[in-house]
Amino acid sequence: MSSTMGMRDASPKRAGPGHRLSDLVRRRPETITFILLVAICIGVALANPAFLQPSTLIDIGRASVVIGLFALGTLVVLAAGGIDVSFTAIAAFTMYSMTLVAQKYLPGLPIAAVLVMATLGGALLGLINGLLVHHLRVPSLIVTIGTQYLFRGFLLAFIGTVWIMSLPPQMGAFGRLALLRFEAASGATITLPAYFLALPIAALVTWWILNRTLMGRAIFAMGGNADIAARLGYSLRTVHLFVFGYAGALAGLAGIIHVCANRQANPFDLVGTEITVIAAVVLGGARITGGTGTVLGTVLGVLLIVVLNNVLVLVGIPSTWQRLVIGIFILLAAAFFVTRQKRNLPSPSET
């Protein structure tokens, strides 16, 4: 009897393709996002081959830069167990302020200095978030809702509300700088802007921080259980300052890239994109409760959202309906994702 039971336990009772896929999803949650992204791309390409034209793919890459930078910062905060909704206000504050500085006070400032100063300005505002979250001991969502209104209110009350339609020459030139340029069959010139490089560079830096540094281990440890992380010797204050400062830095960089790409500075821009960004990160496999998340999954989540937006434009859905369609898709995808995760959790007998 015991030998029979031993043989039964040792046999690969769930070694089929379904079990292997379930095991892969449990270990790599972003697999679901990848499957969804590929399925949508294949379906749209079969219905409309124009989707695979270089111009469409480059449009997707261009549209992914700002939301991708936001999402990478959000990933780091989520992995540490927090939520930040102030990054659009930080981006608006830094992009508008830096444009005014470069236009009125430092007209000869090199674009590299503009980018660095915007990044540092965003990091400074992010550090304010980190200090408040750590010392007030209240949920980061509450703190960042407050600082979102604080940063945006200060911008509109003391810095400006007028659109800047004529950018400083160096910012306009940076927005037009081409990384890749070629002529399509239709005769149109297709350009991949140089600022696109900011996204893969930021993704590599974020991956290195999360996977190859002590800070990365501290971030995931605090996201898993802050009390245990503190007992293990990790400084929660340092982690709070780092994650919110890093998210703010990426938001500042995203803001100035947004201005250069659109060739105008509007202090009211980027409002309302916070939920889309957080949804992209969660769809990429990060748990809203912290302790998990990957850079690859986040990038896939961003691409999924951007491709959906592009597909809705291609099929001619009015802009008034696009948010509704995307919202329904996010809800369905998130429900499927969470259900799949729960189904693949080990049972008590397996632990």
DSSP per-residue codes, 249-305: HHHHHHHHHHHHHHTSB-TTTTTT-HHHHHHHHHHTT--TTSS---HHHHHHHHHHH
Q: Which residue has the higher pLDDT, 179 or 152?
A: 152
* pLDDT (0 to 100) of residue 11: 44
159 part of a folded domain: yes
Judge whether 246 lies within some domain: yes
Token pair, residue 33, equals: 């996002």
Q: Is residue 63 predicted with pLDDT exceeding 50?
A: yes
Tokens representing 345 are: 């959790």
Contact status, residue 104 vs residue 159, Cβ threshold 8 Å: no
User: What is the Cα–Cα distance from 255 to 264, expressed in whole angstroms?
Assistant: 11
Q: How many domains does the chain have?
A: 1
Residue 278 CA to residue 281 CA, distance in Å, equals 5
Tell me the whole-structure pTM to 2 decimals: 0.88
**39 within domain boundaries:** no
User: Is the per-residue pLDDT at 2 higher than 60?
Assistant: no
Q: What share of the chain is helix, strand, coil (3-state, %, to 5)?
A: 75, 5, 20
Residue 324 belongs to some domain of the structure: no
Q: Which pLDDT score, from 0 to 100, does residue 250 have?
A: 97
Q: Mean pLDDT over residues 251-271, rounded?
A: 93
Q: Is residue 158 within 8 Å of 277, Cβ to Cβ?
A: no
Q: Is residue 9 scored above 70 in pLDDT?
A: no
Inside any domain, residue 59: yes
Tell whether the model's pLDDT for residue 167 goes beyond 60.
yes
When pLDDT is averaged across residues 160-181 and rounded to a whole number, the result is: 90
Handedness of CA 236, 238, 240, 242 (dihedral sign): negative
Please count the residues of the chain: 351
Select from 293, 322, 301 the least CA-distant residue to 310. Answer: 322
User: What is residue 32's predicted lDDT score, i.e. its pLDDT?
Assistant: 81
What is the pLDDT at residue 6?
41
Indicate the pLDDT class of residue 272, thresholds 50, 70 and 90: confident
pLDDT at 1: 43
Q: How confident is the model over 67-89, as a mean pLDDT?
A: 96
> Which of the two residues, 40 and 1, has the higher pLDDT score?
40
Identify the CA nearest to 246 among candidates 73, 92, 129, 97. Answer: 73
Q: Is residue 14 part of a domain?
A: no
Categorize the per-residue pLDDT at 10 as very low, low, confident or very high, splitting at 50, 70 and 90: very low
The answer to whether residue 232 sits within a structural domain is yes
Domain that holds residue 109: 51-270
- Tell the burial category of 160 from Cβ atoms under 10 Å away from its Cβ (0-12, 13-18, 19+): middle
Lowest mean pLDDT among 45-54, 143-152, 174-183: 45-54
Neighbours of 342 (CB within 10 A): 8
Q: What mean pLDDT, rounded, does the chain reach? A: 85
Among 185-189, 266-270, 312-316, which is the least confidently predicted range?
185-189
Asked whether residue 332 is domain-assigned, the answer is no
